Homo-oligomer: A and B are copies of this chain.
Amino acid sequence: MNFLEERIVKDGVVKEGNVLKVDSFLNHQMDINLFDEMGKEFAKRFKDKPINKILTIEASGIGIASVVALHFNNCPVVFAKKSQSINLDGEMYTAEVESFTHKRVNHVIVSKKFLGPEDKVLIIDDFLANGCALQGLIQIVQSSGATVEGIGIAVEKGFQSGGRMIRNLGYQLESLAIVDAMDAKTGQVTFREQ
């Protein structure tokens, strides 16, 4: 097991309905040392890629992406927003995504000022399940003429289809922990061998 899998076993909580709660270290309280380890690992896995920008999505991707950026020459981090704000004027890239957690459709928005053909993008997010949010981000990068150099995820739910689909499209998708099964009765989490 790697450091993230060990942490999930130690502090993650399995709930009914295939919910894995990691809110004590990943997406409500955030363990900055863990994020730093994640940054080191992503830097290793994407070391041949000319990454100059990180793209993530609010809210729980932002903390991870910001610390990960320290391992990619402190490159700028852009976070996609989930609803139109009056502070977002000018032209923007938009994509529709479905939220598993909130059970609704969101518009994902990135200002055109912050993504363009010169950008070599690493997409970072905390969770990958059905891949809807990720597809929205990829769509936005493509609309801008930028390149998706890689995708770094903390926890992938391997029993949902998002990861397979994204890999089939040819992207280098690196998930630090891939959960293939979990059992709410015993609390056991089964990780995919990587």
Contact = CB atoms under 8 A, between A and B. Distances in A.
A81 interface: yes
A186 interface: no
Copies of this subunit? 2
Interface stretch (A19-27, A152-160, A175-183): A19-27
A77 B131 CA distance: 27
A111 B27 CA distance: 12
Specify the main secondary structure of chain A where it touches its partner: mixed
A79 B63 contact: yes
Given A19-B87, A58-B59, A87-B21, A28 B111 contact: yes
A85 B60 CA distance: 13
21 contacts: A23-B111, A23-B114, A24-B113, A24-B114, A28-B78, A28-B79, A28-B110, A28-B114, A29-B76, A29-B113, A29-B114, A30-B78, A31-B76, A32-B75, A32-B77, A62-B62, A63-B63, A63-B65, A85-B101, A86-B102, A87-B101
Interface of A: 15, 19, 21, 23-24, 28-33, 35-36, 58-59, 62-63, 65-67, 69-70, 74-79, 81, 85-89, 101-103, 110-111, 113-114
